[in-house]
Structure 1
């Protein structure tokens, strides 16, 4: 019964909403292509579900053809969420929405919809600010995050944005430089800077 409530939620509420924004459904994935980007929502059911508790996550992703090319990977026409370059749970983008939802015998579907659907629309508005590969890079630079850092340096240095690359490098070093794993990343970054003939300097 709870599984049916989840299925109805996807079919009757989520699908119509996302369809209005141009998203097409395949299984529990909803995607929309715009130029060189693919925007995606993935509804991931928990492996620990039971007859009394159906838990699910909403994963949000953006796939970039340009970043895939930098990675020397095959260009995917129908990428899955784990293959996206930007990845986040809905709660990381919309703080008022939980990362995990639970459908239990006590669940009021209207209450669930009142949280989930506005959250999806908020993510769509966030997606609208992510219009190209550089937008994704800017997001991870703002952390600064290690995720996608190698691709980010390639994108910046290839475009001649040496100042931005150096600022990002120093921010990463300031945040992660004391960690043992930094040496691994440092060697990779040095090799990338060398490719573009740019001096590697974290001072």
Structure 2
């Protein structure tokens, strides 16, 4: 929850940030079905879940202003169930400005900032972001986003899910894109191994198509 001053009490700007979240952002997001856990807000939406997280700048407490980055995610319980990892993994996992390009890379305020206006601007931006992520209304749409835009980001989870539902065509297309893009690199041997490990019985199909290489003991 940010940096702590030498007297073990939150700095004034940290307290102001907590005010912005608790009095501005939290009521707004709660109205849209989100629940707060520290700096993260999450809601369930059918088989999907949405996450909004505030990542504080490491320099807070030693600068004259207080900054945060806003991370946004959309995940699927079906994908998480197939992956069986220790934590949920949103396949859409981006900074808010990559979802709505007009939004700032970092949100920042200082002692002269009108915090009511600042909180209102945050909520306006979040409203735009949420309108975009709500366009992903199913696991199928979310996975299509992943195979189109993610490349290596969460590639293991994506391949694992596609193998689990036996969507071999989409799996082969995705692995083909990865091989075309990264197959010439030395690190491809690691990607090749991990894809082979998570695709189960469908690994043989990918090998037969020339999309994966046989593992070397």
* TM-score relative to the length of structure 2: 0.77
Larger Rg belongs to: 2
Structure 1: runs of 5+ lacking an equivalent: none
Superposed counterparts of 1:1-203, under 5 Å: 1-50=12-61, 52-73=64-85, 84-109=90-115, 112-113=118-119, 115-193=121-199, 195-196=201-202, 197-200=204-207, 201-202=210-211
Map Cα deviations across residues 82-132 of structure 1 (whole Å, 9 max, x no partner). Answer: x54432211121111123211123434466346422221122112212233
Number of residue-to-residue matches in the alignment? 197
Separation of aligned partners in 2, 1:191 and 1:102? 44
Residues 28, 195 of structure 1: alpha-carbon distance in 2 compared, 3 angstrom cutoff: same
* TM-score relative to the length of structure 1: 0.81
Residues 87, 50 of structure 1: alpha-carbon distance in 2 compared, 3 angstrom cutoff: same
Residues 159, 194 of structure 1: alpha-carbon distance in 2 compared, 3 angstrom cutoff: closer
Question: Hey, which bits of structure 1, 4+ residues long, moved more than 6 A?
Answer: none
Residues 145, 3 of structure 1: alpha-carbon distance in 2 compared, 3 angstrom cutoff: same
* CA root-mean-square deviation: 2.6
Separation of aligned partners in 2, 1:38 and 1:163? 26
